[in-house]
Structure 1
Amino acid sequence: MGIEMKAFLILSMAMSLISVAFAATGTATYYTTYVPSACNGYQDDGVMIAAASNVLWNNGAVCNKYYRITCTGLAYQGANPCKSGSVVVKIVDHCPTGCAGTIDLSEQAFAKIANTAAGKINIQYTPV
């Protein structure tokens, strides 16, 4: 293996550790009605989407930004609902007052990382 390839591998590993180190923690719930959205009105944004709570909303500055979400455990006591891997979602909406999670994922996005029966999970999230 050449020196350039070794340097590339070391840099890649370091970057992945940095992204984990800067991951924020919070909770996620899910919702099922996707339009209209606070960011894009009646535009179809697909299903890998989410609504941001006031923690992230920042007067809409987070609209159309992407976040990588990883399940880290159940928000309550019980069996771990997490699936392996993560999901990347686009923020298209503002979670209404009283939102139960930091990020309200679409049902499909939530199902990629956890069993939907859990309802609320602990997460790590990072901007992409």
Structure 2
Amino acid sequence: MAMRVLIIFLGLLICQSSVASGDKGTATFYTPPYLPSACNGFKEDGVMIAAASEAIWDDKGACGRRYKVRCTGATNQGDANPCRGGSIVVKIVDLCPAAGCQGTIDLSQEAFAMIADPDAGKINIKYIQV
């Protein structure tokens, strides 16, 4: 019985550490209208969405992937911490074009506002595919 509890505990610990670590990047946001999107054309996907930078786009392979995103701080030293705490899960529905993309993930305005003050414009994040 003790061995079974130990195995379950270790499994939970491994799962928790992988979510806590994640990849580091930056997030920006874009404003409506959100259609058409590179992944789904004129299909409505709600507002918990994001556009992927070339770093995670994977030649359209990122379409439909979900990422858990957490704000970790301001991108400029000395700026006040814009983070609101917690994390969100967004669905990739679009490509953030290389020429104009300023972040790893370009969140919808609504998604960004849930984890950070929109006045920041750009934040440091940790993200993981879920």
Whether TM-score is above 0.5 comes out as yes
**How far apart, CA to CA, are the structure 2 residues paired with 1:125 and 1:74?**
15
The residue aligned with 2:48 is 48
RMSD of the alignment, in Å?
1.4
1:13 CA drift (Å): 2.4
Q: What is the total number of aligned residue pairs between the two structures?
A: 126
Instruction: State the Cα deviation string for residues 21-49 of structure 1 (Å, max 9, x = none).
Output: 3x111100000121110000000000000
The residue aligned with 1:122 is 124
Instruction: State the Cα deviation string for residues 54-110 of structure 1 (Å, max 9, x = none).
Output: 111121010010000010101123100011111000000000222111100001110
Unpaired runs of 5+ residues, structure 2, are none
Unpaired runs of 5+ residues, structure 1, are none
**How far apart, CA to CA, are the structure 2 residues paired with 1:64 and 1:11?**
28
SS at match of 1:14: helix
Residue among 74, 97, 100 paired with 1:98: 100
| Structure 1 runs (4+) greater than 6 angstroms displaced | none
Aligned-residue sequence identity (percent) comes to 51
